[in-house]
Amino acid sequence: MTLENGATSPGPAPGPAPETIEPEGALRVPEPAGLVLAPAEAFPRIDLRAKGEPWERRRAAGKRLRAEVPHARHADAPSLEGRPDPVDLVEGSHAGRQAGLVPLRVARMAASPFAFLRGAASVMAFDLSRSAVSGIEVVMNGDAHISNFGLFGTPQRDVVLDLNDFDEVTIGPWEWDLKRLVASLNVAAREQKIEACERERIVRSCVAGYRNAIADLAPCGPIDVWHRAARADQLDFEGIEIDAASQSVLRKAVEKARRRDNAMLLEKVGERQVDGGWRFRLDPPILAAIDEETREAVISGLELYAESLPRERRFMLSRYHVVDVVHRVVGVGSVGTRAYVALLFGNSDQDALFLQVKEAVRPAHAPYVQPLPEPYGSHDGRRVVYGQRLLQAVGDPLLGWTTIGDRPFYVRQMKNMKGEIPHSLLTGRSLTFFAFGYGALLARAHARTGDAAAISGYCGGRDNHGFDDALAQWAEGYGDQTERDHRALCEAIASGRLEQAGEA
């Protein structure tokens, strides 16, 4: 049954009972062809009496879906018939952004085909909407390219490797995340002058990592699945051994992340004033001053954000006070959205806390999936936070949402023990290892809200490589398409249709 807002009713539905119900979300298999998810608030009450369908039967149901949508269907390149001009889609994604920063976004996207892929989520969303899908849905990341996997610190001061950007999170086909990931691997490999046969091996490794991990998770209990986390200093993915070069890259990245704490960031981006107080060191357009009205609005937004935190964390935050706020340009796809950084102090002026306050906009896949149920469909900040809490193995204790003016925002800690894997420095062999690992991590994220058994049944067991073959072919074709789209963007700049600006 469909509600007036287009969301699927969480009420009675044919088929198996819910597999799991978590405190913040639920999963229901209404029929063999798909899953419907809704937040706990959408349910009048949780039914703990209904017995779930055995995982073996759900895996068998997923396997039967292969007869309806064979693996080979996923190899097909997106049809060009009726495909909009990619530059039109990019221009459309500029709506609502700060006009003065749009030329900077264009320049960043024009830097390379991979940069274009990062910024053109709306283009790929259209293409994926016309691709084959198995019919199994999950809470999907929506933007699972390789640069959206990274390192971050846990409250216990460990460093983990996981998905780290959730601006595009929504409910949709699990394949869309995996296809964006393998496409990004293909395009990144091209930029490193890696030959086609090696690109294929890298993509196949990613799909194998996903397939192996989802098969491993299929029989696991929900609590076990939710506790899975990948400590970066102890990476151990079933099915592949880390090579010496990857180990070296990882060790250096972890060491760098451990040094990246609030004290270090204060020295890097802050400066003392003549009165002895700290302020941000301005570096426009990356870190730019804001007017007093905006500053007050952001601080009020942070006070409202505190209400989205659990009470004990709200109490912790109450011991800090804001001393400065600036506007910050972030990423590629996010350039032009409103993003602020607040500097707060607690016990002393050495007890710094940095909070990023980032505008949350409509996800790129929204036109092609069902509307999210309330309250997540009407507040994109809440959507991002809810999605991150569902998908990320270890979350930010200060993650929350707010509203500033009439715009939704989400709030998170900035840079505290955060780091990235330098993919441009990886060899083909190392990229193969990390591709496998990212595939496995994506499978873990999907298993937290989706039916791992059904997905595993569709993908096939450890010795079934049909899906690997199909996605390797698809990724190569989409790599070609991305290069053509990137050229179209560069031609639009050269003709004067689009303006680009540097970062002086």
Neighbour-count burial for 66-104, b at 16+ CB within 10 Å, e otherwise = beebebeebbeebeeeeeeebbebbbebbeebbeebbbb
Nearest alpha carbon to residue 361 among 12, 113, 150, 96: 96
Whole-prediction pTM value? 0.90
Q: At what angle do helices 244-259 and 428-449 cross, to 10 degrees?
A: 60
- Pull the structure tokens for residue 408: 């939704």
| Residue 222 within any structural domain of the chain | no
| Residue 347 within any structural domain of the chain | yes
Ranges under pLDDT 70 in the chain: 1-44, 504
**What total number of domains does the chain contain?**
1
Judging by beta carbons within 10 Å of its beta carbon (0-12, 13-18, 19+), is residue 204 exposed, middle or buried? Answer: buried
List the domain range (segments joined by +) for residue 360: 271-413
3-state secondary structure of 35: strand
| Residue 462 within any structural domain of the chain | no
| Residue 333 within any structural domain of the chain | yes
- Report CA Rg, the chain: 22
Q: What is the enclosing helix (H) or strand (E) of 163?
A: strand 159-163
pLDDT, residue 89, reads 97
Report residue 67 CA to chain centroid gap.
31
pLDDT, residue 409, reads 98
For residues 159 and 431, give the distance between their C-alpha atoms in angstroms, rounded to a whole number. 20
| Residue 383 within any structural domain of the chain | yes
| Residue 168 within any structural domain of the chain | no
- Pull the structure tokens for residue 36: 């419907």
pLDDT, residue 350, reads 85
pLDDT, residue 50, reads 87
CB 302 within 8 A of CB 63: no
Report residue 41 CA to chain centroid gap.
23
| Residue 50 within any structural domain of the chain | no
- Which residue shows structure tokens 């053109």? 120
pLDDT, residue 36, reads 42
329 phi and psi angles, rounded to 5 deg: -85, 130
- Give the alpha-carbon dihedral of 446, 450, 451, 452, to 10 degrees: 10
| Residue 123 within any structural domain of the chain | no
